[in-house]
Chains A and B, each alone.
Chain A
């Protein structure tokens, strides 16, 4: 397999605090890869650097051979990278349906169409995506009034609407009940498989991580201290010392 996403020597600091320290990383096409690490390890910053939300101080990010550094998020999405957010990031006052519909409109580049009625576009595509993530019954509800877990599902539907080849999910099950977590992970796994997506995700629930990840990278104080198969990572002494050991259940 070839590298879909290559990151080399990535640095990012905020007012002296180094959030990403010389990170090099390769993501293979088609793999399901987890980034784990304690709170504040720099996982979200890492995602923000890849997706253009933040600009790295130093280093390179290339996706399918294209340099992403300096590109704004909207350009990176169009290259085939979509993401969800750890903290809910939807249009809370729009309906669930509209949340997804707008993403489809944008994906098709129809945001510049001043004549076609927006609400008549992509009705089927929107419906399909809502069914895929199990939100069809809530289609006409105001998005901000959904339960937390359902808003997370909506995040996923919005990300999928951009028809990415690489999907980045930042803590897709954070704040969910154990049952919701199980359902979400099962549906993510099915979708990734059915669509042939490459998945990069962060997660704090170790059972989820070791359940679906094919490879795992461990981030600690902005540094990747280990990267490899779940077994290799589980048995890595450094990882056990700084991270897994603290949890004691792996």
Chain B
């Protein structure tokens, strides 16, 4: 059964990651923590892109809401993490539900533009509501619980949260709900005629995506001990979108690989040249011209060719 094989493979990956701090490199631990956060972020976005067939250009909004909310609840209000984190995630999900209610009335470019518009509103709130968010100085000095204030502790915390998030998204994407979403994506007219309220389905998918995006954002904020308005800016939405496209949208693992590859590439490029945006442009060019189905699609094509020869 393929499911069992996947389960074992994922368990091995998580186990290997859990051994990473033993290598003793703080750099590797920190880098992996950030990659894990982006993996969850990209995967959450793919619930909209891969499963409903609509491109969201404003996913950073939920990332930022999760991040700011968790930071503010921990620091300004002194909530314990066990309350602050779930509250932040729920808030991101609620906002996604409200925004999604309007966005799913549209499709294609109109959907994308509306998601972008709402995300810019969120950015505007983060920018202008200075006494709460810190405005363009950012919200810094997040109070962290003792247990996870050390970088290794935080790495394990992130590993557990991201693993749970990825597992939950896996279950959702492969559920009856996920399969029906695929049908809606493939032919929403036909899906209507089998009794599916396609708009409600896409609304639910949008809410799920925002919720998990919020979790990624909360983890991100605590990792950096701060949230900044750039985290809500459209460039952040674009980056996670490119991660998803790079990995491949029609596969569950695609965005995971896309997030890891793009983030690592960015980190290494920045060590040698300040021209990361140029490199990013080239990557985008390659995706559009030769990798329409992402890295996963490339792997599949190579495999198929190998199988034939």
A interface residue numbers (CB < 8 A to B): 51, 53, 72-74, 77-78, 82-83, 89-94, 98, 101-103, 105-107, 110-119, 121, 158, 161-162
Q: Which of B175, B183, B187, B192 contacts A113 (CB 8 A)?
A: B175
Q: Does B191 contact A (CB under 8 A)?
A: yes
* Contact A51–B193 (Cβ < 8 Å): yes
**Docked pose: A213 CA to B182 CA in angstroms:** 37
Question: What is the chain A residue whose CB lies nearest that of B189?
Answer: A89
Q: Does B67 contact A (CB under 8 A)?
A: no
* Contact A114–B171 (Cβ < 8 Å): yes
Q: Collect the chain B residues with CB atoms within 8 Å of residue A102's CB.
A: 179-180, 182-183, 191, 194
**Docked pose: A79 CA to B256 CA in angstroms:** 42
Interface residues on B, range: 20 to 34
A109 to chain B, nearest CB (A): 8
Q: Does B186 contact A (CB under 8 A)?
A: yes
Q: Collect the chain B residues with CB atoms within 8 Å of residue A91's CB.
A: 182-183, 186-187, 190
Q: Does B128 contact A (CB under 8 A)?
A: no
Select the stretch in B195-203, B223-231, B276-284 that faces chain A. Answer: B195-203
* Contact B193–A111 (Cβ < 8 Å): no
Q: Collect the chain A residues with CB atoms within 8 Å of residue B186's CB.
A: 91-94
**Docked pose: A51 CA to B189 CA in angstroms:** 12
* Contact B177–A162 (Cβ < 8 Å): no
Q: Collect the chain B residues with CB atoms within 8 Å of residue A77's CB.
A: 192-195
Chain B binding surface SS class: helix
* Contact B172–A72 (Cβ < 8 Å): no
B interface residue numbers (CB < 8 A to A): 3, 171-172, 174-180, 182-183, 186-187, 189-198, 201, 204, 208
Q: Collect the chain B residues with CB atoms within 8 Å of residue A92's CB.
A: 186-187
Question: What is the chain B residue whose CB lies nearest that of A98?
Answer: B179
Most buried by B among A89, A91, A106, A107: A106
Please name the 3 residue pairs, one residue from A and one from B, whose CB atoms are nearest each other, closest first.
Answer: A118-B179, A111-B180, A91-B186
**Docked pose: A51 CA to B195 CA in angstroms:** 11
* Contact A114–B187 (Cβ < 8 Å): no
* Contact B179–A74 (Cβ < 8 Å): no
In the complex, besides A74-B192, A116-B176, 6 extra interface pairs with C-beta distance below 8 angstroms are A73-B192, A82-B193, A98-B183, A101-B179, A103-B194, A162-B194
**Docked pose: A98 CA to B174 CA in angstroms:** 13
Assuming the contacts A89-B187, A91-B183, asked whether A116 and B175 have C-beta atoms less than 8 A apart, the reply is yes
* Contact A115–B175 (Cβ < 8 Å): yes
B211 to chain A, nearest CB (A): 12
Question: What is the chain B residue whose CB lies nearest that of A161?
Answer: B194
7 pairs, CB–CB < 8 Å, chain A vs chain B: A91-B182, A91-B190, A94-B183, A102-B180, A113-B177, A115-B175, A118-B175
Most buried by A among B187, B204, B208: B187
Assuming the contacts A102-B180, A105-B179, asked whether A111 and B201 have C-beta atoms less than 8 A apart, the reply is yes
Q: Collect the chain B residues with CB atoms within 8 Å of residue A111's CB.
A: 176-177, 180, 196, 201
* Contact A113–B176 (Cβ < 8 Å): yes
* Contact A89–B190 (Cβ < 8 Å): yes
Q: Collect the chain A residues with CB atoms within 8 Å of residue B197's CB.
A: 72, 74
Most buried by A among B178, B189, B196, B198: B196
* Contact A114–B190 (Cβ < 8 Å): no
**Docked pose: A77 CA to B190 CA in angstroms:** 11
Q: Collect the chain A residues with CB atoms within 8 Å of residue B178's CB.
A: 114, 118
Q: Collect the chain A residues with CB atoms within 8 Å of residue B190's CB.
A: 89-91, 158
Most buried by A among B3, B171, B176, B183: B176
* Contact A114–B193 (Cβ < 8 Å): no
A169 to chain B, nearest CB (A): 13
* Contact B175–A117 (Cβ < 8 Å): yes
Q: Collect the chain B residues with CB atoms within 8 Å of residue A106's CB.
A: 180, 183, 191, 194-196
A82 to chain B, nearest CB (A): 7
B240 to chain A, nearest CB (A): 23
Question: What is the chain A residue whose CB lies nearest that of B196?
Answer: A106
A189 to chain B, nearest CB (A): 23
Q: Collect the chain B residues with CB atoms within 8 Å of residue A93's CB.
A: 186
* Contact B179–A107 (Cβ < 8 Å): no
Q: Collect the chain A residues with CB atoms within 8 Å of residue B208's CB.
A: 114
